[in-house]
């Protein structure tokens, strides 16, 4: 039998229910060391803009995978907890979580989301944009992994004076033969302009929707960036220049959502206001 690579999730929500259930079952079994003496409680972080139908699918898949109870928490809240932001305080805090499928922006106060939005732009869309750019500019077809390597190794949200370069290999669209070329960091920056503009617009929308008294808190504390795509060079500077609000990347930003979800699950009573749904 042939092996097929599947993507259980797309844009932060379930795209293949059976694959998602199988993936969750694998993670649950792995966390228990392969010994299923009890059914664990599981918390799943989901995009803030998820529909009730999509949320129900997450809960059902988690229970079907072997969980005793399933809890849902919004990704921006989980990211804020993981970034050590005191979400229960009365002052306002802004988190921008840029993951693989979505970018989530939220202002959080008193344990709840005051203003938020979500755009289906994340690391995967950045990779696709780089693939398309290389195809159009250089007549070279590259895969997702190569596009991701370009993003990680030389990608930047701002054009660099001292350009970074990288050799890549792909398939020539005209001849169909393998070919290698040199690409620069400015190629990567140009490739992802539309995606970066979408993120900037979403951040501005949340700032516009934030009550004035919380806006001053955000100006004082700055916007906190988390998620894998927050590691893109200079994305904090780009957002700060575009909005006039300071921005910085959280410590261990790649794992903020995972850490925050674990903390919330271990302290259900403390974070009950932030939990979206349970079963």
Q: Give tens-digit pLDDT for 14-23.
A: 889 999 999 9
Residue 151 lies in a domain: yes
Residue 200 lies in a domain: yes
Residue 100 lies in a domain: yes
Number of domains in the chain: 3
Average pLDDT over every residue of 238-254: 97
pTM of the model: 0.90
Q: Are strands 93-98 and 103-109 parallel, antiparallel or unpaired?
A: antiparallel
182/45 same-domain check: no
Residue 4 lies in a domain: no
- pLDDT at residue number 13: 83
* Domain finish residue from 188, 203, 230: 188
CATH number of the CATH domain containing 40: 3.30.420.40
CATH number of the CATH domain containing 131: 3.90.640.10
Residue 268 lies in a domain: yes
Residues 6+ apart with CB under 8 A from 152: 231
DSSP element (H, E) containing 79: helix 75-82
123-169 pLDDT per residue, tens: 999 999 999 999 999 999 999 999 999 999 999 999 999 999 999 99
- pLDDT at residue number 38: 84
For residue 141, count other CB atoms closer than 10 A to its CB: 15
143/183 same-domain check: yes
29-58 pLDDT per residue, tens: 888 886 777 889 999 999 888 888 989 999
Name the residue range of residue 117's domain: 84-121+193-254
133/235 same-domain check: no
pLDDT category of residue 180 using cuts at 50, 70 and 90: very high
* Chain centre to alpha carbon of residue 51: 18
135/175 same-domain check: yes
Residue 35 lies in a domain: yes
């Amino acid at each position: 039998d042939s092996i097929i690579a599947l993507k259980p999730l797309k844009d932060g929500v379930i795209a293949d229910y059976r694959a998602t259930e199988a993936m969750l079952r694998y993670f649950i079994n792995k966390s228990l060391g392969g010994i299923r003496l009890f059914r664990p409680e599981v918390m799943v972080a989901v995009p803030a803009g998820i529909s009730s139908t999509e949320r129900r699918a997450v809960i059902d898949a988690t229970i079907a995978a072997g969980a005793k109870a399933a809890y849902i928490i919004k990704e921006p809240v989980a990211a804020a907890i993981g970034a050590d932001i005191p979400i229960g305080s009365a002052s306002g805090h802004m988190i921008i979580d840029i993951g693989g499928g979505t970018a989530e922006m939220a202002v959080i106060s008193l344990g709840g989301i005051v203003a938020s939005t979500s755009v289906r732009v994340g690391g995967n869309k950045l990779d696709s944009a780089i693939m398309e750019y290389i195809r159009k500019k250089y007549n070279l077809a590259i895969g997702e992994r190569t596009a991701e390597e370009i993003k990680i190794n030389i990608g930047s949200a701002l054009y660099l004076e001292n350009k970074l370069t990288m050799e890549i290999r792909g398939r020539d669209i005209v001849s169909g033969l393998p070919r290698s070329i040199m690409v620069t960091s400015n190629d990567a920056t140009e490739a992802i302009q539309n995606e970066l503009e979408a993120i900037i617009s979403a951040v501005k929308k949340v700032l516009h929707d934030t009550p004035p008294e919380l806006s001053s808190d955000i100006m004082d504390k700055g916007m906190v960036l988390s998620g894998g795509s927050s590691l893109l060079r200079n994305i904090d500077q780009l957002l700060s220049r575009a909005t006039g609000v300071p921005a910085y990347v959280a410590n261990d930003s790649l794992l903020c959502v995972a850490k925050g979800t674990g903390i919330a699950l271990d302290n259900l009573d403390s974070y009950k206001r932030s939990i979206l749904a349970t079963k």
